[in-house]
Structure 1
């Protein structure tokens, strides 16, 4: 869920816009920005040596100042390997057998890139290869924090907890505690996250803003906005300066409470804070809040400020602009941003196509979405099932099960391998048509795919299938679905445990059937999901 900062060229990219005057609160006086392996985990034998320079406030590592030759070739070989069973370790062994010695810097840079593109299993395997080579690579608490994050994503929270418990005490510092905290927050495990905060207080690690930001993001997701305000007050009391992320979370919190006036007061406070330079994320957050409360004119003015703050080669703002303009029904603006996006870069990555197709689907422009999908097929650098899932989700939502099935067959013929969410979307369609066996078969297929991080079906979809089993007195299928949940590790989570008891129907009434246009790729929603993704990128 954390905020993305571009450190590339300071040149500003300004999109063609009609001039407009800004209201006092939207002008704000903001300063312009300056010109798997399946083996059990064991705690590695770390030496407390920092071999890579530490920069930034959050203990992150600067990998940007070295030549980008060897690592990029190695990254491509790992990410594009034809035989996934080879794994990262097989590629690394081959690399060295070819006479090319690997440095820690190269390997950490590869890990960074793999994480950026959510190839978590491959990234974890790189670290395991380093650990298997003993004292050759000196690993520190930053490395341990990254591994903990990867383990939580690939093997789940329980494995991450075991890994943390096995670390030497000397490595249990603000970085590893922070990584464990972030894992709990991503899993929305509030009690455990709060327990980690208590340990961080005892260890003297609550002296920086990051853990506060992480916890406030969790409280936003659990809709406990008052706790966000309490943490803001606590930071001020303890003399911990708010950063741009803290302000964005604070703004979002008041927006979620429906208090636009207070939200705008926070914005004014931020403009008076000499340490803060508002960036595009601030305005995208404001736009999201204004959209939520129907202030579309104010939202559009914020979106123009987002455009004015696009700098260098940062593509991320374009993705948010497409989504936010689609949320206010501005199809012409969506196409304008898309055309400018394509004219600004030699190529558009998969995420750009994902944003455009989902925006058009949200607007109901399915013909446009299909046309952009065909364009993606002709230029794609890699197959991405998440893009296909958007169209499948739209077809299912519109009751076009046969078209969804045909599209599913087509995507497999073109080389796209379904991910767990692809199968879950198809299962939703079968539930709608009361085809229990086919829906259950899809859920089993989703659970059987191991090349992605831990998959968990949406509780609403589980509830819908269990209700259908109950209606048809199909206890065998109900038991099979519970077994799928057990194997996916879902029964440790209250949201799923409450569904498998004797009273399934009330849970269905509460959650409802969720047939999202985003292809079920997201754990959160709206502005909270945007903040968590942006903030997570800063870790």
Structure 2
């Protein structure tokens, strides 16, 4: 890496508390950021170095709250996947797209062969702007022959399949690229890792930094962050550059591991690697989920190092503002973005519409939706799948019916899924079932993912009997039941008041499958036990989440401590547990801790007992 391309992180370092100064530090941080592309309304730096409007944030945003699973889903899948990836044509560049941007409806649980089955990950994976936001509809691709060969023999290792493959086929960059892209697209990370390992061991291809980055990403997804970090130490030093470490950083952020993410970011600084918008966006994404007060520190760092924000940067900031219902701040960011010559894409508009709806600004929401439609909805057919659930959230059954009419004669799979969800939100179960039946008739081999959409509708309406019948129909159709179905089943039984049954289903599923349940599945059960003051079972679910590899967050501790509060029981050692998990109490959690502490017995209470 040439010295001319090196950007030092001159004055700031991320710590577990905030950004720290090194040479001239943050002495000037009390000034409001101004006269720069990072003058985002509402994100100004105060005298304490924190954004003024984020001091009251009490919990995580999208992936780990104690709110309902339906709300969790809407936050983690709100019309856009927080992936920023280039559509490279070179084979190795294609093969090394870390977390290819994929419509969730193109994935099936039959395809998942790793534990990475949370809601779609919010990773931004390239410094170039995504072309997915620029093209009007996803490009249809034909699966590669090599990928088909791997899928056709699921019991065989990829190494054995490749040994046979080379007997009559060439292993070219294009072949490997297409297969790797298909494997990643379907989240078959284990198979993709085996393919990468075979290629290197057989010296079929000359590995570049991007190939090593791809391997690092796959190891992190399949074997964990520690193994991925160990692998980096084995990569030739000449290839151990910014791409490698940002890949590890992205995976740390995906796990919401604040401490590890900050360590990797600081290591990149110590190695004098270039400070890219990608790395900064990862921190923004992390703090959007965990501690919005730190967002301003990252923006200050970007300003000081002259790092220009990308479209993904604006998406993240707009979403962060929307999550705290700061509509004016959200709109200010949009205006700043436009002033910088960046027009909101369809996904940003869908975010705006979502938060206008949640904020009760229905007229503004409808204006955005009409703008998304464009002059001719039939010409802009691809946007229908985004509009359907948004109009449903507005309660506009007439608009849902109008949009569905555009699709109804020859619907696409993702449009059907969106329509089932929309009619479910509108409590029109018959219409939802009718759309599902049409979908099942047109695509007889639906995956369990598609069944889960209707199953969630039944769960939200406490229709336990219909839910059971649908699960039986899934089994009869040959669907492999996985995390998405488990999540829907858990909610189905929880909504019906059968929490213990939901707990049992989830426990059996986790024991018998290599796939880990979604974090929401644990949270919805844990929340019910907490409300009851059932300390034993709340602790049990808390422990199982850790066993499954989920990082403990403020929301889990809030739920856990609430169980003790409800039970009026002391919670000994909880502060030490939080410290060990690198979780620091916010104002709300501190108040709860004080309540629990008040229940501690003293000598007098012992005598009275």
Measure, in 1, the Cα distance between the counterparts of 2:380 and 2:180.
21
Q: 1:249 to 1:194 in 2, by over 3 A?
A: same
**Helix, strand or coil: the match of 1:354?**
helix
**Hey, what does 1:394 align to over in structure 2?**
457
1:295, CA displacement in angstroms? 1.5
Measure, in 2, the Cα distance between the counterparts of 1:424 and 1:413.
20
Q: 1:508 to 1:301 in 2, by over 3 A?
A: farther
Q: 1:104 to 1:59 in 2, by over 3 A?
A: farther
1:238 aligns with 2:318: no
**Hey, what does 1:141 align to over in structure 2?**
209
Measure, in 2, the Cα distance between the counterparts of 1:362 and 1:109.
38
Q: 1:126 to 1:504 in 2, by over 3 A?
A: farther
Of structures 1 and 2, the one scoring higher in RCO (CA 8 A, sep 6+) is: 1
Measure, in 2, the Cα distance between the counterparts of 1:312 and 1:202.
53
Measure, in 2, the Cα distance between the counterparts of 1:69 and 1:423.
30
**Hey, what does 2:253 align to over in structure 1?**
185
Q: How many residues align?
A: 447
1:412, CA displacement in angstroms? 0.5
Q: Structure 2: 5+ residue runs without aligned partners?
A: 1-80, 89-111, 115-124, 132-139, 569-609
**Hey, what does 1:84 align to over in structure 2?**
154
Q: 1:151 to 1:377 in 2, by over 3 A?
A: farther
Q: 1:309 to 1:260 in 2, by over 3 A?
A: farther
Measure, in 1, the Cα distance between the counterparts of 2:141 and 2:339.
44
**Hey, what does 2:145 align to over in structure 1?**
73
CA deviations 1:167-215 (Å, max 9, x no partner) are: 3433332212111111111111122212222122223334321111121
2:197 is aligned, of 117, 128, 135, to 128
Q: 1:3 to 1:289 in 2, by over 3 A?
A: farther
**Hey, what does 2:421 align to over in structure 1?**
358
Give TM-score scaled by structure 1 length.
0.70
Measure, in 1, the Cα distance between the counterparts of 2:189 and 2:407.
28
1:264 aligns with 2:331: yes
> Larger deviation: 369-378 or 425-434?
425-434
Measure, in 1, the Cα distance between the counterparts of 2:208 and 2:198.
16
1:282 is aligned, of 348, 366, 373, to 348
Would you say the 8 A contact 2:392–2:426 is kept in 1? yes
Would you say the 8 A contact 2:356–2:362 is kept in 1? yes
Measure, in 1, the Cα distance between the counterparts of 2:541 and 2:336.
51
Q: 1:94 to 1:370 in 2, by over 3 A?
A: farther
1:109 is aligned, of 178, 199, 210, to 178
**Hey, what does 1:440 align to over in structure 2?**
504
1:2 aligns with 2:70: no
The RMSD of aligned alpha carbons is 4.2
**Hey, what does 1:417 align to over in structure 2?**
480
**Hey, what does 2:266 align to over in structure 1?**
198
Measure, in 2, the Cα distance between the counterparts of 1:347 and 1:310.
17
Measure, in 2, the Cα distance between the counterparts of 1:112 and 1:331.
39
**Helix, strand or coil: the match of 1:242?**
coil
Larger radius of gyration: 2
**Hey, what does 1:322 align to over in structure 2?**
388
**Helix, strand or coil: the match of 2:175?**
helix
Measure, in 2, the Cα distance between the counterparts of 1:146 and 1:387.
30
Would you say the 8 A contact 1:463–1:499 is kept in 2? no
**Hey, what does 2:412 align to over in structure 1?**
348
Measure, in 1, the Cα distance between the counterparts of 2:476 and 2:174.
40
Measure, in 2, the Cα distance between the counterparts of 1:162 and 1:310.
54
**Hey, what does 2:371 align to over in structure 1?**
305
Would you say the 8 A contact 2:421–2:457 is kept in 1? no
Give TM-score scaled by structure 2 length.
0.63
1:267, CA displacement in angstroms? 2.1
Q: Structure 1: 5+ residue runs without aligned partners?
A: 9-35, 39-54, 62-67, 510-539
